[in-house]
Structure formats: structure tokens, C-alpha cells
Structure 1
Amino acid sequence: MTSAIFRIGGDLGVRRLGFGAMRLPSEPGPAREVSLAVARRADELGVTLIDTAHMYGWGANEELLAEALYPYVDGLVITTKVGIARSATAAGRKHDARPDVLRGQVEHALRRLRVERIELLQLHRIDPKVPLAEQLGALRELQTEGKVGRIGLSEVSFTELDQARKIVDVASVQNRYSLLDREHEPVLATCEAAGIAFLPWRPVASAAAAEIATVAAELDATPAQVSLAWLLHHSPVILPIPGTGRIDHLEENLAAAHLHLDPAHLDRLDRLAEYEAS
């Protein structure tokens, strides 16, 4: 594995293996107490990058993290996402990246997270109904005002990333990506060339594959650990953010940072995508 530290935007240093808070229940009751304990354990274990979003409980996930972790230790980065709103549709949500909506969601996030500035803010999805320049322009205005430190994107294509980079400095991309799901390899290549952080969501979705399980058994590790270790080795700009609602799974995931994959294992794992595509 290369350096355990990555500098988002060239200056915001975080440990490369982070934590995704999406799976933490936020409703009052015993499950919430477990969620608070999981978030605090991540902090104790040295996680410095935690991912949340307005959409996760419509702000409740942000409030949960603040309850668990505020006042924050030096160096902890909680990144959140905006641009998805509630709707009366069957899905219960919709793209909404109108400038006033983005500003409102950022203002709410600042209050819920109890911070004056969000060091990394990501556009959850590009809204096809709003010109891209208006969406990113709104985030750039918030950045100019000091309420946002760096701007990122989520679930974007190679072309969309290229267009966005002509409007703002893109510090991060959060796309679906894993050992067996490499659809966004061209996006990752762009990020690597430009030094843009790449945060794969659903990073261990392929961990049940037979070959991954075989490699895991050989290394006395879990399939999830093998999947995360492969991601850390695959590109120096990858910052996995595996999510869980259990402390034991959290501890297992973070142990992947110390798992060594030798060249033979890497070769076998690299070729899995070829088999998946055939």
C-alpha cells in the first residue's frame, strides 16, 4: 500500500481508509445508541474521514454524527452531500440542485454539524433539470463565502467530470466502484492524473465472490478486508469509505489498512473484473 495519508485538494490530509455513516440508524432508541457508539469507535480508531449526506435521514445522520463526535478532534473531516430532496414520488426523493436548494441544505448542514465551514462538500447528483454551471456556481459562491472549503462530485461520468472541472476546482469524486464493479475506471484514471480524491461507495459489494473468499482464506482475512486492501493498492487516490452499523465490522474493515497483498494475490484479484465481464 502507498501512503496512508491523502491530501484532498492538495492540502486537507486524511487517512485513506474512512467511514461511511449512511448505515447508522438515527431514530431514538437502542439502535441510535449503537450508532453513537459506532461513530465514537471510528473516531477512537483514528478515522479522519467520515462521509454523510443531507439525504441520509434528511439531516438526521448529520445530527447523529455531531451528537457523537462534537467537539471534533483536530484533523477529523466530516464530508456531506447536497442536491437530493424529498419528493412525493415512489422513491421519496428527487434530484434538486437549484441554487437556493443547495444553499439551504448547506446552511442546515452547518447548523446540524455545528461547524462554520464544511471542509469537503459534494454534489450528491448532478440535476439534469438545472444547468451545470448554475449548480456548481452556487457551490462556488458558498466556497467564496467561506462556508465550504472544497467541492466534490458524486456519481459522475467521465464527460461530466471534464465539464465540471472547467467550472470549479474538483477536489473529490464519489462513485460506485469495487473489485468487481469497475465501470468508472475512466473516471478514476482522470482523478489519478489530476490528484483528485476518489471515494468509492459500495466498496465491498463484491466481497462474497468465490475467488475473493479464497484469497481471504489464504491470508486469514475476511473477504471485505481483501476487497478494501485491493482498493487501497489499486490507486493512490482511492479513499474507501465502507459503512456499517456494527463495531465488530468497523474494526474488521479498518484492519484492512494493514493487510498485505503480494503480487500473486494482486494478479488474481486484478483479473476478476475480466471474468465478471465475460
Structure 2
Amino acid sequence: MTSDETNAPLPQVRLGATGPTTGVQGLGAMGMSEFYGDTDEAAARDTLDAALESGVTLIDTADVYGRGANEEFLAPFVAAHRDEITLATKFSMVRTDDPAYRGVRNDPAYVKAAVEGSLRRLGVDVIDLYYMHRRDPAVPLAESVGAMAELVREGKVRHLGLSEVTGPELREAHAVHPIAALQSEWSLFSRDVEVSAVPAAAELGVALVPYSPLGRGFLTGAFADAARDLPENDFRRTQPRFSGDNARSNAALLEPVRSLAAAHGATLAQIALAWVHQRAAVHGLTVVPIPGTRKRSRLLENAAATRIVLTASELDLLEPIATQVAGARYPDMSTTSAARES
């Protein structure tokens, strides 16, 4: 790969038939505020600058990250580069003083209140892409999406997205108002989104925005056991895939990723991301993964993965991994799309 190729900005794609145009890879900002151990604000701000320099223009946050702190953290960067980025945030997950509590609200009154909070914290008049973070099945989907559509009509939101919904749910929502993007976990370790959501998105022209495309870091090979390798304040210590026998079993699954990384002169993370990017051609839809990082070096490494092309035989080597993963994505899968697949 030449120097010019390495420094070239990322290609751009459109999210959905009428959605925003962004770089083909985005940036998840969650870890800049909490969840993955201690944070470093200066390094995180440098990472945001590196993203823009690399053509990573989709910046993803949510009101639940740091209980609003992540949106507030992003506000100065957003103000300085408003016309250069696509700003995405999410609502519906509710936290309290109990650190273990996670509620979900989709009712129209909450939708209207939540967007006002995000607009205020982000310091903007309009949000480019507004997602429903999780679905509450007790609230009719048409009511929730109808309330979100009203935000578009009011000029507070430009485009709508959903997260962790099934294919039938995506079709139902899209009939109420066009959905630009579906955000769900999708990686070599997590492929349940392919059951119904991916085919529906391809049919409807909805873009897929995979979160945790590196399996929350496990696919980088940087650690193998959460209790041993991660700090006490890292939430991954509570995740089933990261602990004990599950972690040891899952670490062994990285061998084909490691061999392909060596063959391409790449990192494990780059091979894992290249696999996600090539889902676009496999399934016939736009795919814009949003790996999270707080380091400039990792941002540049991740962006370079967009230029790696895996052959059909190499993809075949990676195909069996997901079916062998030990442990669920979360300790409680009840709010995920997988829990509602028939």
C-alpha cells in the first residue's frame, strides 16, 4: 500500500435512500466518556481530530453514555466542525443512580423530551441522525416512530434510525417514516442480525451501521480474560464472552484471524473490520461500521482497514467463527433484537 493510499480520505456512501452522506467508516464515541476504564480527554479530542482528517465523518453518541456527559463532551468538536460531520445520537435507554439499572422508554412524550435534552447538551439546533436505541415492545412501534417523524417535521432531526430491531419491526417502522440506518451489533463474533434485519434492510434500502464490529475489543487479540486483563471499572468484566472458560474458548477462535492478519501485513482488528465492510457486497446493502476508540493510532489503524480486501477463500476461513462463540452478547439479552426473533 502506497503512502498516498494510506493517507487518502475514506470513500463516502449514503445512509439510506435519502439519508446523509458519510465516510464509509464512522466513530463510536461511547468509550470517550465511560464503560472502558479510565478516560483521557486530551487523547479523545485528538482522536476526534484524527477522525475528521481521515474522512471518518459519522460521529455516534447517545444520551445514555455518561448520562449525557458524552454528548456534552462532543459539543465543542461539533461546534467547530458542524458542517463537516454527520452527528448521530440515540434515545430510549434510561439510567438512574443505580449503576446496574437500564430502563427503556419509547412513548411519544419521552421521545419529545429526550430530543430536547440531546439538542441542549450537543449545542445544536438539529440532529443529523436520531436513533431509537432500544425498543420497548409495550409501546406500539408506530407511535414511537410517529413521534420521531414529528421531530423531522419540526426541523429538530434530519433523518431517523433504529437500533436492535428485527426485520419485521424495521419494515413496520419504515412504513411510518423512511428509516435511514439500522444500528446493531455485527461482527465475526455476532451475526444474529443476519436472521431477518439484514435482509429487510437490503430490501428497503436501509444502511447497516454495525456497532462493536471488533467484538468490544476481543477481536483485536489485545486481551483474552477480562478478570486478568481489564481494569475494575471496565464494563466488559460483566460480559459473558469475556470471562472464564468462555474467554479462553473465544480466544482460540482468533487463530484464523491471526493468520490472515499475518498474510496481509495487517492487525487482527483490521481483518475483523475488513470482514464487516465486505458484508456490503455479500448482502447488497450499505455498511458503515462505527468502531470506538480513544486513541489516534487506533483510529488510523481502523480507517486503513477499509482498504483491505479479503478473498473468497479467506472469507470462508472466517465463516465458522460466529457459530462457535461461547457466551451471549450481554448478560441480559431481553432488549436486543435477538430476543424477539421468531
Q: Paired residue for 1:5, among 4, 8, 12?
A: 12
Q: TM-score, normalised by structure 2?
A: 0.74
Task: Return the alpha-carbon distance in structure 2 between the equivalents of residues 87 and 114 of structure 1.
Answer: 24
Which residue type is aligned with residue 17 of structure 2? G
Are residue 268 (structure 1) and residue 278 (structure 2) matched?
A: no
Correspondence list, 1:221-232, <5 A: 221-232=266-277
Q: Is the 8 A contact 1:191 1:237 kept in 2?
A: no
- 1:10 Cα deviation after fit: 2.4
Correspondence list, 1:94-133, <5 A: 94-133=103-142
Q: Paired residue for 1:64, among 65, 68, 73?
A: 73
Are residue 41 (structure 1) and residue 90 (structure 2) matched?
A: no
Q: TM-score, normalised by structure 1?
A: 0.90
Q: Is the 8 A contact 1:225 1:256 kept in 2?
A: yes
SS for the counterpart of 1:199 is strand
Q: Is the 8 A contact 2:162 2:179 kept in 1?
A: yes
Q: Is the 8 A contact 2:166 2:197 kept in 1?
A: yes
Are residue 23 (structure 1) and residue 72 (structure 2) matched?
A: no
- 1:196 Cα deviation after fit: 0.5
Q: Is the 8 A contact 2:58 2:86 kept in 1?
A: yes
Q: Paired residue for 2:144, among 135, 139, 147?
A: 135
Which residue type is aligned with residue 291 of structure 2? P
Alignment deviations for residues 5-54 of structure 1 (CA, whole Å, 9 cap, x no partner): 2212324211111110011037xx98222222222221222211111000
Q: Which deviates more from structure 2 when the two are superposed, residues 170-179 or residues 36-45?
A: 36-45
Distance 1:87 1:190, change over 3 A: same
Which residue type is aligned with residue 13 of structure 2? F
Task: Return the alpha-carbon distance in structure 2 between the equivalents of residues 69 and 251 of structure 1.
Answer: 20
Which residue type is aligned with residue 189 of structure 1? P
- 1:274 Cα deviation after fit: 5.3
Q: Which deviates more from structure 2 when the two are superposed, residues 144-153 or residues 187-196?
A: 187-196
Correspondence list, 1:148-167, <5 A: 148-167=157-176
Q: Paired residue for 2:260, among 215, 223, 240?
A: 215
SS for the counterpart of 1:179 is coil
Alignment deviations for residues 70-126 of structure 1 (CA, whole Å, 9 cap, x no partner): 221534101000111223556233101222222122112122222221111000011
Q: Paired residue for 1:177, among 180, 186, 201?
A: 186
Task: Return the alpha-carbon distance in structure 2 between the equivalents of residues 275 and 265 of structure 1.
Answer: 18
Task: Return the alpha-carbon distance in structure 1 between the equivalents of residues 138 and 100 of structure 2.
Answer: 18
Task: Return the alpha-carbon distance in structure 1 between the equivalents of residues 89 and 199 of structure 2.
Answer: 24
Q: Paired residue for 1:244, among 289, 293, 300?
A: 293
- 1:244 Cα deviation after fit: 1.1
Unpaired runs of at least 5, structure 1:
none
Distance 1:210 1:232, change over 3 A: same
Unpaired runs of at least 5, structure 2:
1-9, 222-253, 327-342
> Which consecutive segments of 4 or more residues in structure 1 shift more than 4 A?
274-277
Distance 1:260 1:30, change over 3 A: closer
Q: Would you say how many aligned residue pairs link Structure 1 and Structure 2?
A: 273
Task: Return the alpha-carbon distance in structure 2 between the equivalents of residues 46 and 15 of structure 1.
Answer: 6
Q: Is the 8 A contact 1:14 1:75 kept in 2?
A: no
- 1:212 Cα deviation after fit: 0.8
SS for the counterpart of 2:65 is coil
Task: Return the alpha-carbon distance in structure 2 between the equivalents of residues 77 and 242 of structure 1.
Answer: 16
Task: Return the alpha-carbon distance in structure 1 between the equivalents of residues 98 and 140 of structure 2.
Answer: 23
Greater helix share, structure number: 2
Task: Return the alpha-carbon distance in structure 1 between the equivalents of residues 176 and 39 of structure 2.
Answer: 45
Q: Paired residue for 1:201, among 203, 206, 211?
A: 211
Which residue type is aligned with residue 257 of structure 2? I
Quote the residue 2:303 is aligned against: 254
SS for the counterpart of 2:165 is coil
Q: Is the 8 A contact 2:93 2:134 kept in 1?
A: yes
Task: Return the alpha-carbon distance in structure 1 between the equivalents of residues 324 and 117 of structure 2.
Answer: 45
SS for the counterpart of 1:172 is strand
Task: Return the alpha-carbon distance in structure 2 between the equivalents of residues 122 and 108 of structure 1.
Answer: 14
RMSD over aligned CA atoms reads 2.2
